[in-house]
């Protein structure tokens, strides 16, 4: 589920608008941005996805906090 409005950008790519309503939500988004490059190695959409015993203990829901 995506919370926000779908917008077609000027280059034709679909983007999502989201209004940050409180400090908790802002901090969650900041943490996501900070950790996002690290997640790419185990992202389900990465064709070269790497997994390990340690990474497999991470709940997939924790990787996508915006999908509450």
pLDDT at 53: 47
Buried-exposed string 19-42: b where 16+ CB fall within 10 A, e elsewhere: eeeeeeeeeeeeeeeeeeeeeeeb
Q: What is the DSSP letter of 10?
A: T
Q: For 5-55, how does the pLDDT look when each residue is reduced to its tens digit (9 = 90+)?
A: 666 667 777 777 788 899 999 999 999 889 888 888 888 888 888 665 445
CA dihedral 53, 57, 60, 62 (to 10 degrees): -130
With a cut of 60, say whether residue 66 has pLDDT above it: no
Which tokens hold the place of 15? 């983007």
Which tokens hold the place of 37? 């490059």
What are the structural domain ranges in the chain?
21-68
């Amino acid at each position: 589920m995506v919370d926000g409005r779908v917008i077609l950008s000027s280059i034709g790519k679909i983007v999502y608008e989201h209004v940050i309503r409180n400090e908790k939500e802002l901090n969650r988004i900041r943490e996501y941005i900070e950790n996002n490059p690290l997640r790419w190695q185990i992202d389900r959409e990465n064709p070269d996805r790497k997994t390990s015993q340690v990474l497999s203990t991470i709940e997939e829901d924790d990787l996508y906090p915006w999908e509450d």
